[in-house]
């Protein structure tokens, strides 16, 4: 029995096999693990549609956050269908059109959404060939797809996808095994395909949710309390109306106060007036910021199972110890959180830059007591994201206002001061590391403790953690977050026989949630700083010390590439080179970073002059996308590491502008160089959160080399003189 008949007789000749020439390319391995997104939405038409105008429309439940997912998804779809990429339209995150893929988080858009589209497109290709064979009585092995058309090998007959389907769509389930296009035949994947949306950005054209405009649209503002848990006691609505022309409606629901006005500036002026002419209760007290480490360690902990390997020696062993600290960080989005909503004819439509439009819809349903089928959420990119910022909160705010003022599009954009004061921050963290070296300078034992607030209070389909839900007349109590990624990358990727890693999850004083890379940034900062300290104790070169403790050849490869990139750089006085490495989540992208830093403690100067990175994200879909994500991660991490921290007094957040919460300015941005180690035969992995952790430690290690100051507490510029 030949290969074709065997497959047919065993029931394996399904839409998942691609027919190439006169035989079927069977995928290896035979039984594939399809992406979870595809398992939840297995129909081809959940991911793609054939349009009458000759285009293909692709759907993704992920939102464009600057990671270039729209272009990458277009690439994989066009590749598998042999279709012109210029004729591929990608629809992002819309509850009326796209599959529910949860949240756009964890560098998972490529691994889940892009790969789901890849398999769906490959299955569609096979189904189209089978349909053409049946419809035109031509053997499948005499058909091929070229440039978006089905052609006979002789070239005498050509059909478009739309002609073949006659207005219908492919509804078959995608089932493993699915044969993908051979990688050596790729024309688009692995290339630097330009991102179309960049044209709108650089020209200042409408692109972001902040740019949305609708006919007759009105504008809103929210009056926040002066402190956490403060309650509205009194305000004079008549005086507000008298002194603020243009105000259309004041919405008061418990301590939730919203203003709707004809023009945006009228809404802002009314907000300022109410802030000065309303009375609130005192609200919650905050602990002294200078004692935050002591305070966090004194709080009751959520139970968490420690990670244990081998057996640690006792206290009498020659333990080397160090403590590291990361303060609260803001998302610090350049564009403050924004949403637009309209409630009309019993339907609520919300435009939001939320990372999870389906969870947001479910949360709004519970907040408003409105069925989910009455709520439509359209995802629109926001100007800056980096995690769980104020996008869900501002959407809830404007939804409440829309319900109270139906028939009009209402736009609400938070002020800078409100964004800084009320967004959920990246948690402060304490990291304590200890290790024992043997006589050869190898790490034999490792003990690591971290203290952290939650890294996730996303609404997640509930309403409790929305600010508005906690302020309305019948308030919902905020639900405490869980660790939510606090322990991410807390276990070193190195080969160390005896380990004990313990995460102490506490409820800190400030509102905290997911910030880009979650706990990985702080944990890798601590681990990789400590690795340099241990290398010095062992009398070893930092590159060699790391390589000696690694078994994974891909990990070694990124370190060696950075070593090669920095082999011949000059290091004048007060200039140092630092390195660091991590594998994000210990299962995803590999990244090694080097930083060249000038440091002059007497003058309070730290200048990051150049950063290098080598990254291995498996199979690369868009080379520019990986490079851009890595470059952005390096620069953002440098800003966090040198400058950023949320400041507060006994009751209020005081970091409410760019002066009190500085971020890296353009003239401070270092030169960056990124090398991508493409692995076309490996799984494709996201790159957006791989560089932040090693970048921080590389800078710290470079500062030490430059001036002898070991800075273990961030931000570095504030702690330079204390070290």
What per-residue confidence (pLDDT) applies to 31? 58
Q: Indicate whether 263 belongs to any domain.
A: yes
DSSP 461: T
What separation, in Å, do the N-terminal and C-terminal C-alpha atoms of the chain show?
76
Cβ-in-10-Å burial (0-12, 13-18, 19+) of 411 comes to buried
> In DSSP terms, which residues pair with 653 in a beta bridge?
648
Contact 49, 161 (CB under 8 A): no
Cα–Cα distance for residue pair 426/331, rounded to 1 Å: 7
Please check whether residues 67 and 101 belong to one and the same domain. Answer: yes
Instruction: Pull the structure tokens for residue 648.
Output: 């507060």
Cα–Cα distance for residue pair 58/109, rounded to 1 Å: 14
Please check whether residues 396 and 441 belong to one and the same domain. Answer: no
Query: At which of 163, 196, 229 does a domain end?
Result: 196
Q: Indicate whether 437 belongs to any domain.
A: yes
Q: Indicate whether 317 belongs to any domain.
A: no
Query: At which of 422, 453, 475 does a domain end?
Result: 422
Domain count, the chain: 3
Cα–Cα distance for residue pair 10/13, rounded to 1 Å: 8
DSSP 515: B
How distant is the alpha carbon of residue 556 from its chain centre? 26
Please check whether residues 480 and 615 belong to one and the same domain. Answer: yes
Please check whether residues 30 and 69 belong to one and the same domain. Answer: yes
Q: Mean pLDDT for each consecutive 10-residue tract of the chain (723 residues)?
A: 32 33 38 88 96 95 89 95 96 96 85 93 95 90 92 87 93 93 93 87 90 97 95 92 94 97 97 95 90 94 89 94 98 96 98 97 98 98 92 98 98 97 97 98 98 93 96 92 88 98 95 96 98 98 98 98 97 98 97 98 96 97 94 98 97 96 97 97 92 98 98 97 78
Cα–Cα distance for residue pair 74/121, rounded to 1 Å: 11
- Pairing of β 410-413 and β 375-379: unpaired
Cis peptide before 177 (omega within 30 of 0): yes
Please check whether residues 438 and 482 belong to one and the same domain. Answer: yes
Please check whether residues 188 and 142 belong to one and the same domain. Answer: yes
Quick one: which of 569, 603, 632 has its CA closest to 709? 603
Cα–Cα distance for residue pair 357/342, rounded to 1 Å: 16
Sign of CA dihedral 537, 541, 543, 544: negative
Say which residues have a Cβ less than 8 Å from residue 237's Cβ, sequence separation at least 6. Answer: 250, 252
Q: Indicate whether 298 belongs to any domain.
A: no
Quick one: which of 400, 475, 424, 510 has its CA closest to 231? 475
Q: Indicate whether 88 belongs to any domain.
A: yes
Please check whether residues 518 and 641 belong to one and the same domain. Answer: yes
Q: Indicate whether 291 belongs to any domain.
A: no
Cα–Cα distance for residue pair 265/494, rounded to 1 Å: 56
Please check whether residues 688 and 651 belong to one and the same domain. Answer: yes
Say whether 534 sits in a helix, a strand or coil.
helix
Cα–Cα distance for residue pair 520/174, rounded to 1 Å: 35
Quick one: which of 81, 71, 73 has its CA closest to 50? 81
Say which residues have a Cβ less than 8 Å from residue 453's Cβ, sequence separation at least 6. Answer: 296, 427, 428, 429, 481, 486, 505, 506, 507, 508, 510, 512
Domain with residue 564: its CATH number is 3.30.365.10
Cα–Cα distance for residue pair 383/220, rounded to 1 Å: 19
Query: At which of 422, 448, 465 does a domain end?
Result: 422
Please check whether residues 561 and 657 belong to one and the same domain. Answer: yes
Instruction: Pull the structure tokens for residue 517.
Output: 């890379």
Residue range(s) defining the domain that contains residue 55: 3-196
Please check whether residues 511 and 379 belong to one and the same domain. Answer: no
Please check whether residues 704 and 665 belong to one and the same domain. Answer: yes
How distant is the alpha carbon of residue 614 from its chain centre? 20
Please check whether residues 379 and 487 belong to one and the same domain. Answer: no
């Amino acid at each position: 029995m030949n290969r074709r008949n065997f497959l047919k007789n065993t029931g394996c000749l399904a839409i998942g096999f691609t027919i190439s020439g006169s035989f079927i390319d069977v995928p290896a391995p035979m039984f594939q693990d399809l992406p979870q997104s595809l398992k939840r939405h297995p129909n081809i038409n959940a991911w793609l549609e054939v349009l009458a105008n000759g285009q293909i429309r692709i759907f993704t439940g992920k939102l464009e956050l600057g990671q270039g997912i729209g272009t990458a998804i277009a690439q994989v779809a066009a590749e598998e269908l042999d279709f012109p990429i210029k004729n591929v339209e990608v629809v992002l995150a819309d509850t009326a059109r796209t599959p529910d893929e949860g949240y756009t988080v964890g560098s998972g858009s490529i691994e889940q959404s892009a790969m789901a589209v890849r398999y769906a497109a490959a299955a569609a290709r096979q189904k189209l060939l089978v349909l053409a064979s049946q419809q035109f009585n031509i053997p499948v092995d005499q058909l091929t797809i070229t440039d978006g058309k089905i052609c006979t090998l002789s070239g005498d007959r050509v059909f478009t996808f739309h002609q073949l389907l006659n207005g219908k769509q492919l509804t078959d389930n995608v089932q493993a095994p699915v044969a993908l296009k051979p990688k050596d035949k790729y024309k688009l994947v692995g290339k630097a395909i330009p991102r179309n949306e960049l044209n709108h950005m650089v020209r200042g054209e409408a692109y972001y949710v902040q740019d949305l405009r609708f006919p007759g649209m009105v504008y809103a503002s929210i009056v926040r309390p002066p402190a956490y848990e403060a309650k509205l006691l009194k305000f004079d609505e008549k005086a507000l109306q008298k002194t603020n022309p243009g105000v259309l409606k004041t919405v008061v629901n418990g301590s939730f106060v919203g203003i709707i006005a004809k023009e945006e500036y009228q809404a802002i002026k009314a907000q300022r007036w109410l802030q000065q002419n309303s009375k609130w209760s005192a609200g919650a007290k905050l602990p002294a910021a200078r004692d935050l480490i002591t305070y966090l360690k004194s709080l009751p902990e959520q139970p968490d199972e420690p990670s244990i390997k081998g057996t640690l020696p006792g206290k009498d062993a020659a333990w080397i110890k160090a403590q590291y600290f990361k303060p609260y960080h803001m998302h610090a989005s350049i564009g403050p959180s924004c949403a637009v909503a309209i409630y009309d004819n019993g339907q609520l439509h919300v435009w939001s830059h939320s990372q999870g439009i389906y969870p947001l819809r479910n949360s709004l349903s519970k907040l408003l007591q409105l069925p989910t089928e009455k709520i439509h959420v359209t995802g629109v990119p926001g100007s800056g994201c980096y995690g769980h910022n104020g996008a869900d909160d501002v959407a809830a705010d404007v939804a409440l206002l829309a319900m109270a003022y139906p028939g009009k599009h209402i736009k609400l954009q938070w002020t800078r001061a409100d964004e800084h004061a009320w967004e959920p921050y990246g948690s402060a963290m304490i990291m304590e590391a200890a290790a024992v070296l043997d006589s050869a300078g190898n790490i034999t034992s490792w003990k690591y403790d971290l203290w952290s607030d939650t890294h996730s209070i996303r609404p997640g389909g509930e309403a409790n953690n929305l600010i508005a839900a906690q302020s309305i007349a019948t308030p919902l109590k905020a639900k405490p977050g869980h660790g939510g990624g606090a322990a991410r990358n807390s276990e070193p990727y190195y080969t160390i026989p005896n380990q004990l890693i313990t995460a102490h999850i506490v409820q800190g004083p400030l509102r905290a949630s997911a910030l880009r890379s979650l706990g990985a940034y702080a944990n890798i900062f601590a681990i990789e700083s400590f690795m340099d300290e241990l290398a010095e104790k062992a009398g070893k070169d930092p590159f060699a010390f790391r390589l000696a403790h690694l078994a994974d050849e891909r990990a070694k490869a990124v370190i060696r590439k950075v070593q090669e990139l920095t082999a011949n750089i000059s290091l004048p006085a007060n200039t140092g080179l630092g390195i660091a490495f991590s594998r994000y989540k210990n299962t995803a992208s590999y990244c090694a970073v080097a930083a060249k830093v000038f440091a002059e403690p007497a003058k309070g100067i730290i200048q990051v002059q150049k950063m290098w990175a080598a990254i291995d994200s498996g199979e690369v879909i868009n080379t520019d996308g990986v490079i851009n994500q890595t470059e952005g991660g390096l620069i953002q991490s440098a800003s966090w590491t040198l400058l950023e921290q949320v400041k507060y007094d006994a009751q209020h957040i005081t970091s409410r502008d760019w002066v009190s919460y500085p971020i890296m300015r353009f003239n401070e941005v270092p030169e960056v160089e990124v090398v991508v180690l493409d692995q076309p035969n490996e799984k494709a992995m996201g790159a957006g959160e791989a560089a932040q952790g090693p970048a921080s430690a590389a800078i710290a290690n470079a500062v030490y080399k430059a001036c002898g100051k070991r800075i273990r507490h961030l931000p570095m510029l504030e702690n330079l003189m204390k070290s």
